[in-house]
């Protein structure tokens, strides 16, 4: 997919600037897109990728700059105008109504609102044709609420194609997909490009950008810092452009595993709402070892984290902590048993937004000395503790008395990490510890986890990012519909191999239907 | 046995259908609002306004249908107020709704006193008269029960069909349902969430007001301050009972009305001499609560109900 330099320019963004208060989200960004090419917009969280595309699509109005589609200026601030001009956008958070069927979602907004009837016959045939041509299998009468994430994304793409989109914008489309679904998506994109569509692919995943795009535009802090032909670059150089500095990959030294601190044997937990429970899970977390848990989100990761964090008890099977079955299992018991938790959602369960850094620092330990005695808080000790974390973990903040709400995600996570690690835990439950962090913070958190492992802690790393799991884990399990794969030692599995397990291949046959679809 | 006897009389069913009619109007109105994502707690007050303005219009010498129209417009006006505060301004739907109810109720009382300062008992109007459907009204039992009602009752039941068809068979209905589930899906298709939601609240409030007008113009012939008497709140429960579907909600209204009609008749049986009448008055509410508990377990609430939508918010 070489860039066709001679091809017609279909889209031209010129000098786009957008401010949110004091923050310059886009600083005079110019982009051209030609017919039949895939360009990638690469950048960290907050680099301004999504803002730029939302301006193009009319969700936001730019403070300065112009948008031209097929040589015509696009009036700002109107998604309808963008749609009419042939721009289709697949948002990171899908814009589908769960209570409607696939066909209804596709039809939404395509007819005059006051049309007397909704004639779906012709639309149905067209959707079927598009599904076939672009490899987007999905049942037109299925309720969107019942579809898997991969299927929903197909509906979003169908929606754009149904409206004759000639320019397709995909915002972080692979964040929620299995490797198999991602390759199916790329297949679809290649078909689209072959038919003369142009694609803007927004991502922060380097491998995917290199695989699918012909040109890469790198954004950093709202500025376009580089534009290169994909053929002339590599992962390493792209990563450095993205971060603006040299980066070192985390290194795992050889280390013999120690005794098992926590073992699960044949554990079942009940289903909670839409989240599956565990089914016959057997797992050992060993001293000096990082156990990686890969899997598509919603396959039982939450149940396992709840179990180890003390929020859930086994309905069946047994759990042993430091060689003994815990008498009663609760978050308090988990803490006193030496389990430190880095929760999946740092905003909701990891911190209290309107509490200060000090208060958040002692959130798990305030009930006893040194932070309280006989029911009275010792704020001086708590403040000292917060200060220690701020210093050792490089938390950038106004001070321990600041509310944690004001901190960036990375700094908030460093405080939570410090709170967990300073207690000297023997078991660390790290659930999506680097999700949404920029590369600097990612490296910091990962290196701290590795240091804890080297010091003899047992780490459970739950992540949806397969690259992260493979880079950091001594052994890897895949979780699928509450079931656990065998343990794969470091270096014995390929991404494709693990991807197969993530899609349910390899698990006992009767348990592999439904849920995540293996396209 | 008395219950069975009552259930087999035409007058019982006629009463049930009559009692259900205002509930159906208002329930459909609330359902439209909620399907678009707005909880309209102004319903109780808007029914009072509808009851007052409809009756007052006729009292001033205009026709009955003019009264219905005026009631609807008055309801839509309060709907506009509610919609403006909750949709573009995104204020709390609970607070605004209760505020609209208080304002509308007080406005009706104020206007009543202003226009009839000397009156001790409210003047009567000539209400809608039963309009037997030729042929159908001759049927045994069913005829007098269902086909000898006033025109407004026929309108209520016709609206159930109309609202269903609009919701499920037209582009407008599609956009309305999407706005209540995921407004971003509407926005992304270039439609205005604000316009759809405001339109839904205004039209829905118009229907609520007709429900109120039914009381003064079809069920009774006069206006009393206490006449709406919590019917609006019942309708909010009926929307849940009907799982946000017009047909099921209307069925719920009929069920509630049937209990109500039944309790009145039970009071006149020998049982009524023994059991305090308050117990009978409770029956429809208790049975409604039970039905609500059973029916609404699996109901799917519109996901964006009570969630304001701000375009361009980060």
Q: What is the pLDDT of residue B309?
A: 87
Chain A residue numbers with beta carbons less than 8 Å from the beta carbon of B172 are 113-115
Q: What is the pLDDT of residue B1?
A: 59
The C-alpha of A472 sits at a distance from chain B's nearest C-alpha, in angstroms, of 33
pLDDT tens for residues A188-222? 999 999 999 999 999 878 888 999 999 999 998 88
The C-alpha of A163 sits at a distance from chain B's nearest C-alpha, in angstroms, of 10
Architecture per CATH, domain B2-114+145-296, reads as: Orthogonal Bundle (1.10)
Chain B residue numbers with beta carbons less than 8 Å from the beta carbon of A82 are 190
CB within 8 Å: A115 and B188: no
Chain B residue numbers with beta carbons less than 8 Å from the beta carbon of A96 are 182, 185
Minimum-distance CB partner of B314 among A20, A98, A100? A20
CB within 8 Å: A59 and B311: yes
Closest CA to A400 of A363, A352, A359, A364: A359
Helix (H, G, I), strand (E, B) or coil at A200: strand
pLDDT greater than 50 at residue A511? no
Minimum-distance CB partner of A109 among B182, B189, B314? B189
B85/B265 Cα distance (integer angstroms): 44
CB within 8 Å: A117 and B172: no
Q: What is the pLDDT of residue B301?
A: 86
A469/A476 Cα distance (integer angstroms): 7
Q: Which of A131-135, A174-178, B225-229 has the lowest mean pLDDT?
A: A174-178
Residue A508 pLDDT class (50, 70, 90 cuts): low
Residue A182 pLDDT class (50, 70, 90 cuts): confident
Cα–Cα distances in Å, from B44 out to A257, B105, B214, B292? 69, 8, 14, 20
A282/B40 Cα distance (integer angstroms): 51
Q: What is the mean pLDDT of residues B231-235?
A: 94
Residue B33 pLDDT class (50, 70, 90 cuts): very high
Residue of chain B minimizing CA distance to A162: B189
Q: What is the pLDDT of residue A510?
A: 42
A483/A280 Cα distance (integer angstroms): 7
Q: Is A121 on the interface with B (CB under 8 A)?
A: no
pLDDT tens for residues A415-457? 999 999 988 899 999 998 987 777 778 888 999 999 999 999 9
Chain A residue numbers with beta carbons less than 8 Å from the beta carbon of B187 are 59, 79, 95
Q: What is the pLDDT of residue B311?
A: 65
Contact assessment for residue B188 and residue B23, using Cβ atoms and an 8 Å cutoff: no
CB within 8 Å: B190 and A83: yes
Residue from B190, B192, B243 whose CB has the most chain A CBs within 10 Å, to mutate: B190
pLDDT greater than 50 at residue A514? no
Q: What is the mean pLDDT of residues B44-56?
A: 97
**How does A262-276 read in b/e, with b if 16+ C-beta sit within 10 Å?**
bbbeebebeeeeeeb
Report the interhelical angle of B151-169 vs B171-181 (nearest 10°).
Answer: 80
A81/B92 Cα distance (integer angstroms): 32
pLDDT tens for residues A477-502? 999 999 999 999 988 888 888 988 98
* pLDDT over 70, % of chain A: 96
pLDDT greater than 50 at residue A2? no
Cis peptide before B123 (omega within 30 of 0): no
Neighbouring C-beta atoms of residue A240, cutoff 10 Å: 15
Chain A residue numbers with beta carbons less than 8 Å from the beta carbon of B165 are none
Count contacts between A and B (CB, < 8 Å): 91
Q: What is the pLDDT of residue B273?
A: 82
Q: What is the mean pLDDT of residues B129-147?
A: 87
Q: What is the pLDDT of residue A5?
A: 58
Q: Read off the tokens for B156.
A: 């209520």
Q: Give residues with Cβ within 8 angstroms of A340, minimum separation 6.
A: A420, A421, A423, A425, A427, A428, A429
Q: What is the mean pLDDT of residues B114-139?
A: 89
Residue of chain A minimizing CA distance to B178: A97
Most confident of A67-81, A324-338, B131-145, B203-217: B203-217
pTM of structure: 0.75
A269/A275 Cα distance (integer angstroms): 11
Minimum-distance CB partner of A96 among B175, B177, B185? B185
Contact assessment for residue A196 and residue A228, using Cβ atoms and an 8 Å cutoff: no
Show the domains of chain A with their CATH numbers. 9-243 (3.40.50.300), 260-338+424-518 (3.40.50.300), 348-421 (no CATH)
pLDDT tens for residues A221-263? 889 998 999 999 888 888 888 877 766 777 888 888 889 999 9
Residue A365 pLDDT class (50, 70, 90 cuts): confident
pLDDT greater than 70 at residue A1? no
A479/B61 Cα distance (integer angstroms): 75
Query: Domain segments of chain B: what residues?
Result: 2-114+145-296
């Amino acid at each position: 997919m070489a860039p066709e330099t001679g091809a017609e320019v279909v889209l031209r963004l010129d000098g786009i600037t957008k401010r949110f208060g004091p923050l310059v989200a886009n600083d005079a960004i110019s982009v051209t897109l030609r017919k039949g090419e895939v360009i990638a917009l690469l950048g960290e969280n907050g680099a301004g990728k999504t803002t730029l595309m939302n301006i193009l699509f009319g969700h936001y109005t730019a403070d300065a700059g112009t948008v031209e589609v097929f040589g015509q200026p696009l009036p700002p601030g109107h998604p309808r105008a963008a749609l009419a001009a042939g721009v289709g956008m697949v948002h990171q958070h899908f814009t589908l109504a769960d209570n409607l069927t696939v066909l209804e979602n596709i039809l939404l907004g395509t007819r005059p609102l006051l049309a007397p009837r909704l004639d779906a016959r012709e639309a149905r045939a067209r959707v079927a044709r598009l599904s076939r041509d672009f490899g987007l299998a999905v049942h037109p009468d299925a309720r969107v609420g019942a579809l898997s994430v991969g299927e929903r994304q197909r509906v979003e793409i169908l929606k754009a194609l149904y409206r004759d989109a000639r320019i397709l914008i995909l915002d972080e489309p692979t964040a929620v997909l299995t490797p198999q679904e991602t390759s199916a998506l790329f297949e679809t994109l290649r078909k689209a490009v072959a038919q003369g569509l142009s694609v803007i692919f927004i991502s922060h995943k380097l491998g995917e950008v290199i695989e699918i795009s012909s040109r890469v535009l790198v954004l950093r802090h709202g500025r376009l810092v580089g534009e290169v032909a994909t053929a002339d670059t590599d992962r390493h150089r792209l990563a450095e452009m993205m971060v603006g500095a040299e980066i070192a990959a985390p290194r795992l030294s050889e280390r013999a595993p120690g005794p098992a601190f926590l073992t699960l044997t044949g554990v079942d937990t009940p289903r909670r709402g839409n989240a599956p429970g565990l089914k016959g899970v057997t797992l050992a977390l060993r001293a000096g070892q990082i156990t990686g848990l890969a899997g598509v989100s919603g396959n039982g990761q939450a149940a396992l984290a709840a179990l180890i964090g003390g929020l859930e008890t086994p309905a069946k099977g047994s759990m042993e902590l430091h060689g003994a079955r815990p008498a009663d299992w609760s978050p308090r018991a988990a803490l006193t048993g030496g389990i430190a938790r880095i929760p999946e959602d740092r905003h909701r369960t990891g911190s209290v937004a309107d509490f200060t850094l000090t208060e958040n620092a002692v959130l798990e330990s305030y009930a006893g000395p040194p932070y309280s005695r006989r029911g009275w808080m010792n704020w001086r000790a708590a403040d000292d503790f917060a200060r220690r974390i701020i210093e050792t973990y490089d938390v950038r903040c106004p001070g321990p008395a600041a509310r944690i709400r004001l901190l960036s995600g990375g700094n908030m996570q460093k405080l939570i990490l410090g709170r967990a690690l300073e207690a000297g835990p023997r078991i660390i439950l790290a659930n999506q510890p680097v999700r949404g962090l920029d590369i600097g913070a990612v490296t910091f958190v990962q290196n701290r986890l590795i240091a804890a492992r080297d010091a003899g802690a047992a780490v459970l790393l739950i992540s949806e990012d397969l690259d992260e799991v493979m880079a950091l884990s001594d052994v890897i399990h895949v979780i699928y519909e509450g079931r656990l794969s065998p343990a794969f030692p470091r270096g014995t599995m390929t991404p494709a191999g693990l991807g197969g397990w993530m899609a349910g291949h390899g698990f006992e046959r009767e348990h592999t239907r439904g849920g995540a679809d293996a396209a | 046995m008395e219950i069975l006897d009552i259930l087999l009389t035409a007058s019982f069913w006629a009463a049930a259908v009559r009692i259900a009619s205002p509930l159906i109007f208002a329930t459909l109105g609330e359902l439209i609002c909620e399907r678009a994502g707005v909880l309209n707690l102004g319903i109780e007050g808007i029914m009072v306004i509808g009851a007052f303005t409809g009756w007052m219009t006729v009292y001033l010498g205009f026709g009955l249908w003019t009264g219905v129209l005026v009631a609807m417009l008055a309801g839509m006006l309060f709907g506009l107020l509610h919609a403006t505060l909750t949709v573009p301004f995104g204020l709390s739907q609970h607070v605004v709704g209760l505020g609209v109810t208080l304002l509308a109720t007080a406005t009706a009382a104020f206007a009543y006193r202003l226009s009839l300062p000397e009156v001790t008992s409210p003047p009567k109007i000539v209400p809608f008269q039963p309009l037997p459907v030729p042929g159908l009204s001759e049927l045994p039992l069913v005829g007098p029960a269902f086909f000898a009602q006033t025109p407004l009752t026929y309108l209520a039941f016709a609206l159930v069909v109309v609202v269903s068809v609009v919701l499920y068979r037209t582009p407008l209905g599609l956009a309305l349902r999407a706005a209540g589930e995921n407004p971003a899906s509407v926005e992304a298709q270039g439609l205005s969430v604000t316009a759809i939601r405001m339109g839904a609240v205004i039209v829905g409030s118009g229907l609520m007001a007709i429900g109120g007008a039914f009381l003064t113009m079809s069920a009774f012939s006069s206006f009393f301050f206490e006449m709406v008497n919590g019917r609006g709140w019942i309708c909010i429960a009926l929307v849940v009972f009907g799982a946000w579907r017009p047909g099921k909600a209307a069925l719920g209204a009929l069920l509630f009305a049937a209990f109500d009609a039944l309790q009145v008749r039970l009071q006149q049986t020998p049982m009524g001499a023994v059991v305090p009448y308050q117990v009978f008055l409770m029956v429809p509410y208790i049975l409604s609560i039970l039905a609500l508990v059973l029916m609404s377990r699996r109901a799917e609430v519109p996901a964006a109900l009570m969630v304001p939508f701000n375009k361009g918010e980060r």
